[in-house]
Amino acid sequence: MRNYRRAAFVTATAALCAVAGSGVMTAQAVASPGQDRARTAAVAKPAPAPVAGSEASLKAKCPYPYVCFTKGTAILSKYKDAGYWQTLGPKGRTADSANNTRHDDVVYVRFSDAKTICMKPGQGWAFNGAHPKQVYISTSSKCK
């Protein structure tokens, strides 16, 4: 039952994400684990979804000031350079989540299907089967 609730939470959160005109996904609201099944079943295809900070930190201990790409509890790759698009290596492209430990910088992650997400400072995301391709660490504190 516990795994179902976690899957329902991530799926419901993904359903509440909207794609802005620039193609960047931003969270509109955070769903609670008690979402009804009808609402979570409405999601046709899983999309990357934000993960609560405490749950993201349980998955892997990503040190400040890095952006870590993880699979389960293993850190596959980490980045800290800001200001340009960096292509993920072969390990990073297999990640199932990412954590942004930076305090003032947003991070954009581009996927193989050309969608891009924006992770706010301190935020983690579950990719739900999407394959990350590139990362951009911005010096801005807000998603554009």
pLDDT of the chain along its 144 residues, tens only?
Answer: 444 444 444 434 443 333 333 444 443 333 334 444 444 344 445 567 666 554 544 456 899 999 999 999 999 999 999 999 999 999 999 999 999 999 999 999 999 999 999 999 999 999 999 999 999 999 999 998
Q: What is the pTM of this model?
A: 0.63
C-beta of residue 65 within 8 angstroms of C-beta of residue 80 = yes
C-beta of residue 13 within 8 angstroms of C-beta of residue 128 = no
Identify the pLDDT of residue 30.
Answer: 35
Identify the pLDDT of residue 46.
Answer: 59
Closest by CA to 50, choosing from 137, 128, 132, 102, is 128
DSSP bridge pairs for 50: 125
Domain ranges of the chain: 2-137
Identify the pLDDT of residue 132.
Answer: 97
Number of neighbouring beta carbons within 10 Å of residue 71: 16
Identify the pLDDT of residue 35.
Answer: 42
